[in-house]
């Protein structure tokens, strides 16, 4: 079944067209139907049609849908990602092979070696190197000059030197990375008119999926390839542009009418995914954005949907409520694959996934949800507690003796096992009584920890010993989010509260650390179970039931979103998350996070929801169905 707006878009013949496709409006159907119609209705050679997507999964889905639509006819249409198609262009001119593209693990190893060579200190290797790779990618895509670039994680001069060394390594290998594919393809088409002309003749019709996520470099190349016929078919939704941090520029979609004055614009304004209540709520929210195309989205299916707005005293009560409701839905027969819990950031999901493990709820995630059990913070805590229960090794004390900073030196610890009297005498002989006192206090702290239950011990490390203050200082000096580190510490503390003794908790942690980081679901595949992820990773997905926890200020919108352009992006993120839901949408707000009072998100007020429904009775929030 295809509606009149979809037909109008799909049957467009020549010239540029912009299709504004809202959530659940059938954009994939329009792209595949247009491709079929160009071939079977207009006689366009299939090999002259190029369909560009952002991911291999999207390209594969588009190809499969097209095959079904054409009853298996193997038309040689080019379905591919931007990088795959642009690399194909480079291969024909420069004879590159796939082995010339630097693999992610090679890139990671190179930056790891360079960071050590430049004596850059970091604790969380995966996070630090991942952030560095993203920063360099953004710089290359933006065309920024290396001499003007900086990174919060290291001195500016060191960062620029590492950028230079990376490019030298690529040249030495006669290789390139994914960002170079775009840059070199742009340069090739710009500097060699004969090559540009050949590819323009090769592809006389170009269709672009998810156009709102395009970056300036990709748009520049697509525009060159589309000349002189300009048969560009651009499909996207400016309200779903949420990848600015990757270089996407939603304003490019808004300026297409200026780039192509003869552009024809069609809006797909029927949402065939969600019920009327969800569609109305999402429209109220996104209408607050100013820089957008005006739309009137209406529901196209007669399903009975429900929106739940619930407030809780704490994040813990909120998470228990989510667990209870998921178990109820599963008991009533809803498949786990039709349920999702989506948050603004992956770290918000740490405590929830721990509780899902505890209640044996299968789940999977596309995101990197921070793992507290293999983080350096857990290593610090374990060193404190192992020293407290008797394993007072030199290596453990060296790790924690200046966390927080006690100004102690390793020179006073020559032996594999710590001799406290000898260590104190070392400073006494140097007339450093204040450092002798620091050693004595550390010894006393460890003795006190040894007699505590796990939860009390964690609180003492955090507050009494001053580990929280150390994390604050660490975050400031490393350009890291202190709240992110505190969330990890909270996850560790919450887990410790479940055990009666330090020995029992330490044994449990060791078991967890030996296991695979994220267990698959009971069916043995990571694609089974409840989806747990971020707003960003949920793009393109849909579920019968969607839970949106932690709808609080500083989280959504994020505390870094100060400018209007950033607030509009945050609003688009929440819009994307809301429109993943078909039948049931849960909007959840804890009054306290980490024992601190928090405000409901301003976006709730924009949806007229701040006081729409009373909070559920507190005693029911944590109830679990039997």
Q: Write out pLDDT tens, residues 308-324.
A: 999 999 998 999 999 99
Cα 18 to Cα 30: distance, rounded to the nearest angstrom:
12
Within-domain flag for 290: no
- List C-alpha distances in Å: 197 to 82, 91, 204: 19, 16, 11
Within-domain flag for 186: yes
Question: What single DSSP character describes residue 177?
Answer: -
What is the count of structural domains for the chain? 4
Cα 362 to Cα 581: distance, rounded to the nearest angstrom:
20
Residue 364's φ and ψ, nearest 5 degrees, are -145, 165
Last residue of a domain, one of 125, 152, 175: 175
Last residue of a domain, one of 484, 500, 517: 517
Structure tokens at 293: 């195309």
Helix 482-496 / helix 350-358 crossing angle, nearest 10 deg: 20
Mean pLDDT, all residues of the chain:
90
pLDDT for residue 618: 42
pLDDT for residue 144: 64
List, for residues 485-522, the tens digit of each pLDDT value: 898 898 889 889 889 999 999 999 988 887 654 444 33
Q: Are residues 163 and 196 located together in one domain of the fold?
A: no
Q: Are residues 110 and 86 located together in one domain of the fold?
A: no
Q: Are residues 344 and 249 located together in one domain of the fold?
A: no
The string of DSSP codes covering 349-373 is: GHHHHHHHHHTT--EE-SS----GG
Within-domain flag for 505: yes
Domain limits at 321?
298-366+523-612
The β-bridge relationship of strands 596-597 and 592-593 is antiparallel
* pLDDT cut 90: percent of the chain above it: 69
Within-domain flag for 560: yes
List, for residues 97-134, the tens digit of each pLDDT value: 888 898 888 999 999 999 989 888 777 777 788 888 88
To which residue do tokens 């400031």 refer?
Answer: 476
To which residue do tokens 């002309």 refer?
Answer: 197
199-203, 221-225, 386-390, range with the lowest pLDDT = 386-390
Q: Are residues 200 and 72 located together in one domain of the fold?
A: yes
Q: Are residues 189 and 255 located together in one domain of the fold?
A: yes
* pLDDT cut 70: percent of the chain above it: 94
Cα 186 to Cα 225: distance, rounded to the nearest angstrom:
10
Cα 477 to Cα 529: distance, rounded to the nearest angstrom:
40
Cα 547 to Cα 253: distance, rounded to the nearest angstrom:
30
Helix (H, G, I), strand (E, B) or coil at 100: helix
Q: 527 falls in which pLDDT band (50, 70, 90)?
A: low
Residue 560's φ and ψ, nearest 5 degrees, are -80, -10
CATH code at position 528: 3.40.50.300
Q: Are residues 202 and 71 located together in one domain of the fold?
A: yes
Q: Are residues 200 and 75 located together in one domain of the fold?
A: yes
- List C-alpha distances in Å: 25 to 3, 19, 157, 269, 282: 10, 11, 49, 7, 14
Within-domain flag for 217: yes
Structure tokens at 17: 């067209």
């Amino acid at each position: 079944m295809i509606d009149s707006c979809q037909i109008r878009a799909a049957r467009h013949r020549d010239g540029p067209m912009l299709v504004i496709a809202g959530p659940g409006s059938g954009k994939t159907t329009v792209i595949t139907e247009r491709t079929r119609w160009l071939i079977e209705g207009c006689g366009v050679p299939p090999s002259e049609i190029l369909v560009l997507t952002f991911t291999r999964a999207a390209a594969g889905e588009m190809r499969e849908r097209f095959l079904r639509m054409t009853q298996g006819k193997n038309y040689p249409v080019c379905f591919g990602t931007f990088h795959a198609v642009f690399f194909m262009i480079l291969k024909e001119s420069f004879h590159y092979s796939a082995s010339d593209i630097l693999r992610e693990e090679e890139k990671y190893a190179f930056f790891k070696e360079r960071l050590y060579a430049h004596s850059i200190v970091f604790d969380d290797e995966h996070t630090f190197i991942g952030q560095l790779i993203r920063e360099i990618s953004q710089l290359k895509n933006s065309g920024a000059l290396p001499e003007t670039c900086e990174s919060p994680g290291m001195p500016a001069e060191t960062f620029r030197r590492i950028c230079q060394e990376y490019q030298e390594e690529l040249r030495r290998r006669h290789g390139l990375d994914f960002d170079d594919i775009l840059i070199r393809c742009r340069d090739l088409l710009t500097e060699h008119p004969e090559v540009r002309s050949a590819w323009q003749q090769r592809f006389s019709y170009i269709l672009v999926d998810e156009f709102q996520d395009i970056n300036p470099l990709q748009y520049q190349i697509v525009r060159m390839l589309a000349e002189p016929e300009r048969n560009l078919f651009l499909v996207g939704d400016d309200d779903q542009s949420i990848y600015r941090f990757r270089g996407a520029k939603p304003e490019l979609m808004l300026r297409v009418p200026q780039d192509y004055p003869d552009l024809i614009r069609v809006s797909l304004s029927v949402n065939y995914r969600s019920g009327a209540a969800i569609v109305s709520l999402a429209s109220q929210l996104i209408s607050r954005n100013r820089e957008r195309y005006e739309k009137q989205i209406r529901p196209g299916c007669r399903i009975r949907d429900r929106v739940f707005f619930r407030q809780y005293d704490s994040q813990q009560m909120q998470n228990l409520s989510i667990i209870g409701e998921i178990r109820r839905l599963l008991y009533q027969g809803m498949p786990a694959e039709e349920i999702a819990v989506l948050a603004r950031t992956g770290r918000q999901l740490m405590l929830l996934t721990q509780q899902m493990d505890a209640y044996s709820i299968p789940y999977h995630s596309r995101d990197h949800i921070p793992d507290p059990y293999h983080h350096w913070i857990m290593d610090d805590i374990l060193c404190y507690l192992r020293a407290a229960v008797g394993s007072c090794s030199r290596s453990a004390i060296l790790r924690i003796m200046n966390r927080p900073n006690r100004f102690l030196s390793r020179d006073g610890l020559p032996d594999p096992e710590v001799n406290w009297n000898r260590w104190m005498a070392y400073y006494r002989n140097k007339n450093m009584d204040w450092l002798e006192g620091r050693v004595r206090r550390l010894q006393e702290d460890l003795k006190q920890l040894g007699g505590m239950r796990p939860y009390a011990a964690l609180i003492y490390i955090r507050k009494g010993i001053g580990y929280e203050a150390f994390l604050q200082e660490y975050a400031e000096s490393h350009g890291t989010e202190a709240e992110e580190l505190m969330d990890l510490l909270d996850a560790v503390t919450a887990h410790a509260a479940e055990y009666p003794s330090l020995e029992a908790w330490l044994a449990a942690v060791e078991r967890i650390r030996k296991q695979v980081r994220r267990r698959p679901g009971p069916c043995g595949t990571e694609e089974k179970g409840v989806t747990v992820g971020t707003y960003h990773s949920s793009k393109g997905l849909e579920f019968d039931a969607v839970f949106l926890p932690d709808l609080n200020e500083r989280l959504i919108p994020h505390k870094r979103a100060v400018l209007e352009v950033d607030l509009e992006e945050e609003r688009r993120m929440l819009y994307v998350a809301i429109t993943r839901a078909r039948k049931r949408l849960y909007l959840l707000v804890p009054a306290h996070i980490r024992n601190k009072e928090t405000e409901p998100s301003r976006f709730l007020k924009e949806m007229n929801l701040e006081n729409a429904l009373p909070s559920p009775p507190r005693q029911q929030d944590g109830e679990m169905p039997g």
